[in-house]
């Protein structure tokens, strides 16, 4: 059950971007009326998707800022909102500004749960963002996290079995370690590097 705080935040995001109509969805979700809430969301999206790009982009940026501390991103970013409004907005943003590292970073971020909705994979989006802006900490962090989560799953049955081709994981981990070098030096970065190197050693032992 979503918290009242979460629902208030979602409504504030819409208001901050000048997009009305989302508050009814919030109220219905707060009452536990999921089906009615999703119908209301669909009605909202029918209008929101017709807004100018500048307004839709402002909404996505506001949504992203609030998403960082949100207790349930599935509530803040329900599938219809992502596939009908967020992803099309980001793709249109890139068409108009193909050199925007932020747009590629966000496209990769929001497509993580809907990879079939875009042409590029999330990892490709993060790579493009890094290529356009080598100092983009968010894209570097996201790429490293994507690789580590993937390999962590591939190795979760060790020492009895390795899921998937270890050679591909070796290459991915080597790339992740290279990308990691561009992150600001923090104790957390050192911990991540240690984990990546441990996973790399495990993957190499299965070649």
Burial 58-94 (b: 16+ CB within 10 A, else e): bbbebbbebeeebeeeebbbbeebbbbbbbbbbbebb
Higher model confidence: residue 83 or residue 1? Answer: 83
Dist. CA 188–CA 160, nearest whole Å = 30
Say what the pLDDT of residue 42 is: 87
What pTM was computed for the model? 0.86
Q: Please name the residue that has the structure tokens 């970065």.
A: 189
Q: Please name the residue that has the structure tokens 């493009």.
A: 128
pLDDT digits (tens, 9 = 90+) for 12-70: 665 655 555 666 777 777 778 888 888 888 888 888 888 899 989 988 998 888 777 66
DSSP3 helix / strand / coil % (the chain, rounded to 5) = 70, 0, 30
Dist. CA 99–CA 119, nearest whole Å = 17
- Check whether 202 has a pLDDT greater than 60: yes
């Amino acid at each position: 059950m979503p918290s009242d705080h979460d629902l208030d935040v979602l409504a504030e995001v819409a208001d901050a971007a000048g997009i009305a109509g989302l508050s009814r969805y919030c109220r219905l979700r707060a009452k536990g009326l999921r089906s009615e809430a999703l119908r209301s969301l669909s009605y909202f999206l029918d209008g929101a998707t017709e807004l100018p790009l500048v307004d839709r982009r402002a909404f996505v940026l506001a949504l992203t800022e609030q998403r960082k501390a949100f207790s349930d991103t599935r509530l803040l970013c329900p599938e219809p909102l992502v596939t009908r409004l967020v992803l099309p907005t980001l793709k249109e943003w890139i068409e108009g500004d193909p050199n925007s590292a932020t747009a590629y970073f966000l496209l990769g971020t929001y497509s993580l749960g809907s990879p079939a909705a875009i042409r590029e994979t999330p990892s490709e989006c993060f790579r493009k963002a890094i290529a356009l802006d080598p100092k983009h900490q968010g894209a570097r962090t996201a790429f490293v996290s994507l690789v580590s989560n993937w390999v962590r799953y591939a190795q979760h049955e060790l020492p009895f079995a390795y899921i998937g081709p270890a050679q591909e994981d070796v290459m991915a981990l080597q790339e992740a370690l290279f990308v990691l070098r561009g992150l600001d030096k923090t104790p957390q970065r050192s911990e991540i590097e240690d984990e990546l190197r441990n996973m790399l050693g495990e993957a190499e032992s299965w070649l």
